[in-house]
Structure 1
Amino acid sequence: MGETEKRMETHRVKCLSKVKMFLLALTCAYVSKTLSGSYMNSMLTQIERQFNIPTSLVGFINGSFEIGNLLLIIFVSYFGTKLHRPIMIGVGCVVMGLGCFLISLPHFLMNRYEYESTVSVSSNVSSNSFLCMENGTQTSRPTQDPSECVKEIKSLMWVYVLVGNIIRGMGETPIMPLGISYIEDFSKSENSPLYIGFIETGAIIGPLIGLLLASFCANIYVDTGSVNTDDLTITPTDTRWVGAWWFGFLICAGVNILTAIPFFFLPKTLPKEGLEDNADIIKNDKEEKQSGEVKKEKHGITKDFLPFMKSLSCNSIYMLFILISVLQFNAFANMFSFMPKYLEQQYGKSTSDAIFLIGIYNLPPICIGYIAGGLIMKKFKITVKQAAHIGCWLSVIEYLLYFLCFLATCDNSPVAGITTSYEGIQQDLYVGNKILADCNTDCNCPTKTWDPVCGDNGLSYMSACLAGCETSSGTGLNMVFQNCSCIRTSGNSSAVLGLCDKGHDCSMMLQYFLILSTISSFIYSLAAIPGYMVLLRCIKSEEKSLGVGLHAFCTRIFAGIPAPIYFGALVDSTCLHWGTLKCGKPGACRIYDSTNFRHIYLGLPAALRGSSFIPAFLILILLRKHHLPGENDPSGTELAVMKVTEKEKECKDVHQNSKVSNDEEMKAKL
């Protein structure tokens, strides 16, 4: 008797460990995939500057991840449930690792990064060839030499980043639909929201680590180790600065491959959670599954694909939920992809600082919100209709709070000839920039090269030459320019490298913006788990994997791919000055119109999110009349318990019948 109990206890621990093991492995997979995803989003600005490409092309590179995902999502979602799901997830993690490695490859194949500058630290600085010299010649003018343009064709190395991101997207495909369906199949119905809350928490821990890693890498010069950083004339706050973006991708590649290992040791199926110690139920479940597999083989593996698709397309609540997701994903994909650039241009922060602030202020409240949402669903046993109301009204509250962000604004950086006149008077940005003025007309300055300096009068200039500076002292970042004819002050009219700081008021506005984003992130994430449960519970159990996959497919094709492209093009339209390549062609944007950038960055997502509430309210109306699949049906565990109860009743009836027949026989004998 003792040995039997010991065996059953060992079996219970073993089975429970498999459920928890898969949950742990899947959470780690979510951490690794979101780690590389958030790192990629954070490094978009660095990639833009490294390859001197416009923001719209960077948006296309970012959207290429969704293209890779799109190629396989329906196939994996449908056929994945019929194959070994853990192994497929493990293979996906390995493929993601290979994609990350391919993204980092251009750094090792390209020459050193060269930023446009009028100041040359490699030559004799005392020549002052970059300063205002009457009737002088400027050596830093863009060359029209065709050979220089041929050399810059190497900037097409961004294709490696594009292909690597596509491969990364293909590898990520099986993780969400197969992982979620595996959890839903083998966990208790009441535990499922909590488990998904843990998984989604992993999807927040990953970006937190990714953003911290991106902040660290963005602060390191791209060619560190091969150049003398003391000779640099730019800082991380400069729009020409490129951080060591490639280093983080190598780390992401290693993490993704390590994450894949546990999945190759997990079983194809598990007993339903809570029933692992009942051998009869396990045996019956296996027999039912085997008979079901035999039937599927007889009828063909693809025969139920079209009926499932027809059923899903006729499910009005499911289709409305997809419409909501597409609109919301369009809004949030744009906001998170371009948030570092927004903080740089609006508040004058460096890429490293912007990424760090996003990670510190936004991700912890999202993590807490996911866990709290899952716990609330479990503790109060929230129904699907209640979950829909919770998710909808919390989103409405957060949306109204979002409009306060329009008040946390900063003015454009005062740059003479672009945003202000040389007298410091703000001018119309799109009438035509007046780069030259009376104070620098005779200096023979290049008018396209971006090498800003900050004058004593608080005004920035495109270069020391355009500021009318005649002499300089010091080297590298410590260089000071004197006798600047365009800087009208009572002192010696000097300037230093870099744009002028935006001031204390702008720093306070940044704090208000970050506090608002923190509160908004928490409220929205609190509504995420109830909303996701509406998606899972509004479709039939046998259609669940395909339903999740189709949902992901639609959000990618209608939001994930086009959103960064059209949003990047809109951001490009606010550019005030483009960088210049050696052959005279435009490169990456150096300064944007902060006001128009803010209207696009905040206004477009507000319009998209506002329109998403129309289908949300329709779902609330439909839920009053609709009976959802499995809404009043007992869960898998309850069904199994009912089976046990029925068997016990049958056994009792048999026992009672046999006892009655024995009594009758005894009476007959007597």
Structure 2
Amino acid sequence: MILISCKKSPQPLNIKCETTLLLFLASLAFVYFAKAFGGAYMKSSITQIERRFDIPSSLIGVIDGSFEMGNLLVIAFVSYFGAKLHRPRLIGIGCLIMSVGCFLIALPHFFQGPYKYETSVSHSTAFNSSESALPCHSNHSLTDADETPDLEARTEDEKSCEKAAGSSMWIYVFLGNMLRGIGETPIMPLGVSYLDDFSREENTPFYLACIHTVGILGPMFGFMLGSLLAKIYVDIGFVDLVTITINHKDSRWVGAWWLGFIVTGTVILLSSIPFWFLPKSLPKQGQEESQSKSTELATVAEQENFLQEENQDEEKEKPVTFQELAKDFVPSLRRLFRNSIFTLMILTYLVAVNGFIGMITFKPKYMEQIYGQSASKAIFLIGILNLPAVALGIITGGFVLKRFKLGVIGAARVSITASVGSFCLLAVQGFIHCDNAEVGGITISYQGAPQVSYNPQTLLSECNMGCSCSMKHWDPVCAYNGMTYASPCLAGCQTSTGTGREMVFHNCTCVGEMMTPGINSSAVLGQCPRKSDCDRIFKFYMALSVVGSFISACGGTPGYIVLLRSIQPDLKALALGMQTLIVRTLGGIPPPIYFGALIDRTCLKWGTKQCGGRGACRLYDANAFRLTFMGLVTGLYFLSNTLWAGLYVKIVKRQKKLALRNQAKENALEGNDVGNGHANINIAKNKDDTDKESTI
């Protein structure tokens, strides 16, 4: 009905068509919110998924990159052919696919058995207070010689154990995330090109800023949901929580990650509804109805552009076959990449996105390992502090463009200034850190001397030599001397009292080595908190992080406008699609993988899978982690700023050339007018002479 009224109705229904454009704007903003909500929740659940499936950071990077792999499969064709088809309905179809992907990610939870975390505490010790156990001797059968059996020697029981643990269930998460990437493909290129085609030129930056501002609320809610569910045990409703000996601050804890994907899938499904009722095209906003007929099927509208417009008259209302579209695809690509500014801008975005994706993927883990924050708190702080700063920065950048009516050069100046400012703050963050967590035999010796050891043998000392402890298990206890020990056995604890999380271990011989006789040599479950000054350092880090996020986001909208104005109007949808394809393929897939692989190299203590073998990392070398992580991020951002400088020079040169060309055209037109004037005078004079002759 809306489509018919916009096409066939007389003048008064221009208002209805204007309302339809605003409805599309609101629907697109909600879709941006929904897809960002799901994407941010995926990022916030990375740590939980890594622990649940007992996989290293490099593999979790592959899973995270599967979203961009899905984009890679279809985005070039969706961007090019989708611009000629019904764009709103294609966006609706994409939302349905994204929703299915979210539900698929949650599916493994219902196929796997209950989560079993590694622990050196026996069941009777943990849940029966009437019994007194001897932790020092409870692991006598789990010695250092207990390695994962060879593949040939594996028994049927071990194979069934792996099946029960769901060792390959992460493949469902991989495929579901890939479906999310496929479904998200049409939203940005088709939505933005549709909006830019049918809105006023001066309104486009403001509309884009509004969409991105609403969209940034999605990550904020996504991270807040991730923080909430990270505190809820993964098997809530299926197990007795009293029997759980770990809390949400423990590196073995897994939150209810699956529940969030059901929520985000439902929200994305709802966001698809309006697009089934929107028209294929609209009259250009602000044009007369008499002009709308020639505009409604044209995907190219007149707009501010500092490139010469080509072949505008060819955009007529005539049927186009699929073969003709396919035949024009390669020449269109060739025209697009001959644009040096577009190519350089893609390269700049590519480098910057590499740094951003790597940083946002592992930032919660960075805050957890460097500053001793829980995964839940780290996710919550990112959602409640960083993301609102990003939203404010995006709307500020759009407002500056509209308020000062900046052109391409002005927008480029705003963007590069924001990029350099955020880089400076990011570089400072690399020097703000806390010391390593004090873990006996790993980051500090049992006698209290500083050390960092990747060798498991250093876990053994004279104080626990007779305990026959396993060096694989990670079941940390915090002693009253402020040191963390990898397990009660390695702390040399002789007895225990209490049940569940309230268990206390007594007469720990390794604790007594660092304390005067008569002082409490007990330990409790969990790692010790960091030193008191670490909280102050962390607050300073978060302040710099928030300010840097705001400054960086201020350049987002201006940078996007530079991209839009640097391409031919008829190539706009294709250019946006190719930008998304290249940036997400090379900027979205590799960073989580190589960031994760390098971060894995800084692991000090690996966990053990339920059926043996190396699981997820439990403790990192904080200094090596910081230098690796921040070194990569700052290096990539430095390179992107260098490219921005070259890009700015190119934009200024092109603008000067166009200004000279336009001046030459004006001079030529003025010359023609003068010549025409002289010609008219001569004609008039000749006519007068003729009249005189005839009169004579």
Q: Deviations over 1:137-187 (max 9, x none)?
A: 569977856323442242100000000000110000000000010111011
Q: Does 1:37 align with 2:39?
A: yes
Q: Who is 1:642 aligned against? A: none
Aligned residues of 2:73 and 2:182 also touching (Cα < 8 A): yes
Q: Deviations over 1:234-274 (max 9, x none)?
A: 01110000000000000011001100000000000011112
Q: Counterpart amino acid of 1:302? A: A
Q: Who is 2:95 aligned against? A: 93
Give the secondary structure class of the aligned counterpart of 1:590.
strand
Q: Does 1:18 align with 2:20?
A: yes
Q: In 1, Cα distance between the equivalents of 2:123 and 2:561?
A: 60
- Please give the residue correspondences for 1:613-624 in structure 2 after superposition, counting only pairs within 5 Å: 613-624=641-652
Shift of 1:43: 0.5
Q: Deviations over 1:21-53 (max 9, x none)?
A: 000000000001011100001101100110111
Q: Does 1:256 align with 2:238?
A: no
Aligned residues of 1:570 and 1:600 also touching (Cα < 8 A): yes
Give the secondary structure class of the aligned counterpart of 2:490.
coil
Please, which of 514, 517, 522 is the counterpart of residue 542 of structure 2? 514
Please, which of 37, 54, 73 is the counterpart of residue 56 of structure 2? 54
Aligned residues of 1:113 and 1:223 also touching (Cα < 8 A): yes
- Please give the residue correspondences for 1:398-417 in structure 2 after superposition, counting only pairs within 5 Å: 398-417=422-441
Shift of 1:445: 1.3
Q: Who is 2:228 aligned against? A: 216
Say if 1:130 and 1:404 are closer, same or farther in 2 by CA, change over 3 A: farther
Q: Does 1:327 align with 2:351?
A: yes
Give the secondary structure class of the aligned counterpart of 1:300.
helix
Shift of 1:583: 3.2
Q: In 2, Cα distance between the equivalents of 1:29 and 1:107?
A: 27
Q: In 2, Cα distance between the equivalents of 1:134 and 1:87?
A: 63
Q: Who is 1:373 aligned against? A: 397
Q: Who is 2:158 aligned against? A: 148
Q: Deviations over 1:57-108 (max 9, x none)?
A: 0000000000001101100000011000000000000100000000000000
Q: Counterpart amino acid of 1:115? A: Y
Q: Does 1:159 align with 2:171?
A: yes
Which consecutive residues of structure 1, in runs of 5 or more, have no partner in the other structure? 1-6, 635-670
Q: Does 1:283 align with 2:287?
A: no
Q: Deviations over 1:470-508 (max 9, x none)?
A: 111111111111111111224130000001000221111
Q: In 2, Cα distance between the equivalents of 1:128 and 1:343?
A: 38
Q: Counterpart amino acid of 1:280? A: S
Aligned residues of 1:539 and 1:629 also touching (Cα < 8 A): no
Q: Who is 1:234 aligned against? A: 246
Aligned residues of 1:129 and 1:138 also touching (Cα < 8 A): no
Q: Does 1:468 align with 2:492?
A: yes
Give the secondary structure class of the aligned counterpart of 2:246.
coil
Q: Counterpart amino acid of 1:481? A: F
Q: In 2, Cα distance between the equivalents of 1:137 and 1:328?
A: 51
Q: In 2, Cα distance between the equivalents of 1:336 and 1:69?
A: 19
Q: Counterpart amino acid of 1:23? A: L
Say if 1:137 and 1:544 are closer, same or farther in 2 by CA, change over 3 A: closer
Q: Does 1:132 align with 2:136?
A: yes
Aligned residues of 1:221 and 1:242 also touching (Cα < 8 A): yes
Aligned residues of 2:119 and 2:474 also touching (Cα < 8 A): yes
Q: In 1, Cα distance between the equivalents of 2:554 and 2:418?
A: 8
Q: Counterpart amino acid of 2:28? A: L
Give the secondary structure class of the aligned counterpart of 1:226.
coil
Give the secondary structure class of the aligned counterpart of 2:17.
helix
Q: In 2, Cα distance between the equivalents of 1:134 and 1:545?
A: 66
- Please give the residue correspondences for 1:568-587 in structure 2 after superposition, counting only pairs within 5 Å: 568-587=596-615
Please, which of 171, 181, 188 is the counterpart of residue 169 of structure 1? 181
Aligned residues of 2:281 and 2:297 also touching (Cα < 8 A): no
Q: Counterpart amino acid of 2:438? A: P
Please, which of 582, 600, 609 is the counterpart of residue 554 of structure 1? 582
Q: Who is 1:3 aligned against? A: none
Q: Who is 1:663 aligned against? A: none
Q: In 1, Cα distance between the equivalents of 2:315 and 2:530?
A: 71
Q: Does 1:590 align with 2:618?
A: yes
Q: Does 1:246 align with 2:258?
A: yes
Q: In 1, Cα distance between the equivalents of 2:632 and 2:495?
A: 47
Q: Who is 1:180 aligned against? A: 192
Q: Who is 1:74 aligned against? A: 76
Please, which of 399, 408, 418 is the counterpart of residue 394 of structure 1? 418
Q: Who is 2:215 aligned against? A: 203
Shift of 1:126: 5.2
Shift of 1:297: 4.1
Give the secondary structure class of the aligned counterpart of 1:271.
coil
Q: Deviations over 1:426-456 (max 9, x none)?
A: 1142466511110111111111111000011
Shift of 1:530: 0.6
Q: Who is 1:317 aligned against? A: 341
Aligned residues of 2:284 and 2:295 also touching (Cα < 8 A): no
TM-score norm. by structure 2 comes to: 0.86
Q: In 1, Cα distance between the equivalents of 2:129 and 2:319?
A: 82
Q: In 2, Cα distance between the equivalents of 1:30 and 1:241?
A: 32
Which consecutive residues of structure 2, in runs of 5 or more, have no partner in the other structure? 1-8, 300-313, 663-696
TM-score norm. by structure 1 comes to: 0.90
Aligned residues of 2:294 and 2:317 also touching (Cα < 8 A): no
Aligned residues of 1:461 and 1:467 also touching (Cα < 8 A): yes
Q: In 1, Cα distance between the equivalents of 2:374 and 2:118?
A: 18
Q: Does 1:340 align with 2:354?
A: no
Aligned residues of 1:537 and 1:628 also touching (Cα < 8 A): no
Q: Who is 1:501 aligned against? A: 529
Shift of 1:331: 0.1
Q: In 2, Cα distance between the equivalents of 1:621 and 1:404?
A: 28
Q: Counterpart amino acid of 1:235? A: N
Q: Does 1:350 align with 2:374?
A: yes
- Which moved further from structure 2: 503-512 or 30-39? 503-512
Aligned residues of 1:221 and 1:241 also touching (Cα < 8 A): yes
Shift of 1:532: 0.8
Give the secondary structure class of the aligned counterpart of 1:148.
helix
Q: In 2, Cα distance between the equivalents of 1:388 and 1:198?
A: 20
Shift of 1:380: 1.3
Aligned residue pairs total: 626
Q: Counterpart amino acid of 1:438? A: E
Say if 1:134 and 1:433 are closer, same or farther in 2 by CA, change over 3 A: closer
Aligned residues of 1:43 and 1:214 also touching (Cα < 8 A): yes
Say if 1:280 and 1:57 are closer, same or farther in 2 by CA, change over 3 A: same
Aligned residues of 1:237 and 1:348 also touching (Cα < 8 A): no
Please, which of 105, 108, 114 is the counterpart of residue 106 of structure 1? 108
Say if 1:294 and 1:449 are closer, same or farther in 2 by CA, change over 3 A: same
Say if 1:332 and 1:17 are closer, same or farther in 2 by CA, change over 3 A: same
Q: In 1, Cα distance between the equivalents of 2:31 and 2:551?
A: 26
Say if 1:70 and 1:577 are closer, same or farther in 2 by CA, change over 3 A: same
Q: In 2, Cα distance between the equivalents of 1:279 and 1:133?
A: 88
Q: Counterpart amino acid of 1:492? A: N
Q: In 2, Cα distance between the equivalents of 1:118 and 1:298?
A: 65
Q: Counterpart amino acid of 2:33? A: V
Q: Counterpart amino acid of 1:581? A: K
Q: Deviations over 1:585-636 (max 9, x none)?
A: 11111101111111111110111111112221111111222149999999xx
Aligned residues of 1:31 and 1:202 also touching (Cα < 8 A): yes
Q: Does 1:604 align with 2:632?
A: yes
Q: In 2, Cα distance between the equivalents of 1:480 and 1:566?
A: 41
Q: In 1, Cα distance between the equivalents of 2:270 and 2:181?
A: 18
Give the secondary structure class of the aligned counterpart of 1:465.
coil
Please, which of 261, 266, 269 is the counterpart of residue 278 of structure 2? 266
Aligned residues of 2:213 and 2:395 also touching (Cα < 8 A): yes
Say if 1:291 and 1:357 are closer, same or farther in 2 by CA, change over 3 A: closer
Q: Counterpart amino acid of 2:556? A: A
